[in-house]
Amino acid sequence: MTGRVEGKVAFVTGAARGQGRSHAVRLAEEGADIIAVDICADIDTVTPYYPLATEAELKETVRQVEALGRRIVARTADVRDLDGLQTAFDAGVAELGRIDIVVANAGIATYGRSWELTADQWRDMIDVNLTGVYHTAKVAVPTMIQAGRGGSIMFTSSIGGLKGIQQVGHYVAAKHGIVGLMRTMANELGPYGVRVNTIHPTNVATMMIQNPGTYGMFAPDDPEPTQEKAMPGFMSLNTLPVPWVESADISSAVLYLASDEARYVTGVALPVDAGAHVK
């Protein structure tokens, strides 16, 4: 099938690279225009583990979407900043004319035992991975309701939104939190034809897991953890015999939930996790 979201506009956060770029490009391949935002700056509690996206990476997302013949409005915005995010969203709607799909994808990962997390680690995690998701929905919903065409909102959760995972208690708390938000908003927005769902990946092969912090989760006693040393831990997480999935696998779920094929799917926590949540 082609053109599964033809003529629609999608708002994607964390769009400069990784899953966000993959989602934007996949939706564009199927006919959508894109409003893309990313912080394009580092957050101090995250940088010991991995750098966040850059403006050059956001420009590459723009290039890939435009190469498909689709329009894209890209802005730097921090999902923690409600006013800045609203400004970026409004600029996209002003140029592209509508909004049909929201993918609240922006997120971070840091590590530590729950009681040893710093106050800054906890605050940044909740602010980005929970409040940032709420902000993303908040800026878009009034326009979706006013348009009267319904639509699809998706929150990127995690297997950590379905089960406890050691070393990431703050992440797990945020990812569980957006499931509750999703279920509430699915009920609130159902009368307007707006569907709300969460997607729950296992580890995805992006920089968020391909870093020493994640490797250290699976090799906690090793002072110099590597991907090779962490591989048994990665493999043990999933039921299917893979260490992780690809961004494209999550984008396929995004496309499905965005399309009319899922027109009656709402309030669902959808795992794309190689069976990790049942293990």
Q: Are 158 and 229 in contact (CB under 8 A)?
A: no
Token duo for residue 147: 């348009």
- Number of neighbouring beta carbons within 10 Å of residue 68: 16
Phi and psi, residue 165, nearest 5°: -135, 130
Give every CB contact of residue 182 below 8 A, 6+ residues apart in sequence.
155, 157, 196, 197, 198, 267, 269
End-to-end alpha carbon distance in the chain: 33
Question: Would you call 52 exposed, middle or buried from its count of C-beta atoms within 10 A (0-12, 13-18, 19+)?
Answer: buried
Nearest to 133 by CA among 190, 72, 185: 185
Distance CA 152, CA 183 (A): 13
Residue of 50, 111, 171, 215 with catalytic role: 171
Distance of CA 262 to the CA centre of its chain: 19
The one-character DSSP state at 206 is S
Nearest-5° Cα angle at 201, 63 to 48 = 70
Phi and psi, residue 247, nearest 5°: -55, -35
- Number of neighbouring beta carbons within 10 Å of residue 56: 10
Distance CA 165, CA 161 (A): 9
215 classed as catalytic:
no
Catalytic residues: 171
